[in-house]
Amino acid sequence: MSVLTKVFVVLVTVLAVVGATLMMAYVANVNTYKNAYQDQKSVVEAYRKTVNSKEGQIQAMSTSLATMQQQLAQVTRQKDAEVQAAIKDRNAAQADLTVAKAREAELAASVTTIGDTLKQNEQIVKDTLTQLQKTRAQIVDLQTQNIELVSRNNDLDGTRRSLENEARRLKESVAQAQSEYDQLKGKWDKVPGDIKQAIEPGQASASVMKIPAPARLQGQITRVEQVAGETLAQVNIGAADNVQPNMVFVIHRGDKFLGNLVILKTDDRSAVGQVTLAQNGVKAGDAVMGTAQ
């Protein structure tokens, strides 16, 4: 065998060994790359599934978002309409408020005027009430004094009766004197005129005495009634006792003044009158007394 052949064989052998080594390395790398490829393919597939799921979710969210946008648009339109209506109501309310404020100012001015008038009227009423109270007190004092005077006058009734008897006697004397005067006058009228001139008689005159005899009437209240806000009382004296309408009696209980009784209507033995200046209540059994003018 030649050297070249040997060299060639050696080269072939070396190449075979190198080629086998390279082939083994290639085969090992191919398996590694294949496994890596399978791993990457599995990851890609998982990513694809995730992407598909996300795309479905995005599609659903897009649909939901579109629905929500429509609802939002509808709600926005409704709210805009409500806002416009509210603006109109607010403008109307502001106009009403302006009118109300003007009316309030007018009313405040009226209230102030009325308040001033009421204060003036209140002062007038107070002054009037004060004057009325003073007048009422004066009337009560006068009536009390009148009762005292009447009570004193009652003590003089005996003297009055004696004077009345004396007045009757005087009237009888006057009547007798008048009768004698009339007789003398009749005789004088029969005397001839020349004789009258001759004897020149004195002028005689007689006057008839008229004694004022005011009747002091006394009675008792038998019934008291309230009619139309007025107090009416009935007494046990009437026309037979010379009681007349518009006659005023004093009502009393002992020495205590209770009021006045103005006679409105009379019967033979009773009369009805209106109670005025009532004090402490008038009741049946209270006494009345008065003077006929």
The full set of domain ranges for the chain reads 1-155, 157-213, 214-293
Q: Residue 135: what pLDDT?
A: 78
Q: What is the mean pLDDT of residues 24-51?
A: 79
Q: What is the mean pLDDT of residues 100-115?
A: 83
Please give the share of the chain, as a percent, with pLDDT higher than 90: 10
Tell me the fold of 214-293. Answer: Thrombin, subunit H (2.40.10)
In this prediction, residue 167 has a pLDDT band, given cuts at 50, 70 and 90, of low
- Rounded Cα distance between 154 and 162, Å, is 14
Q: What whole-number distance in Å separates Cα of residue 159 and Cα of residue 182? A: 34
Highest mean pLDDT among 10-14, 74-78, 270-274: 270-274
Contact 81, 73 (CB under 8 A): no
pLDDT over 50 at 195, yes or no: no
Nearest to 226 by CA among 175, 177, 277, 282: 282
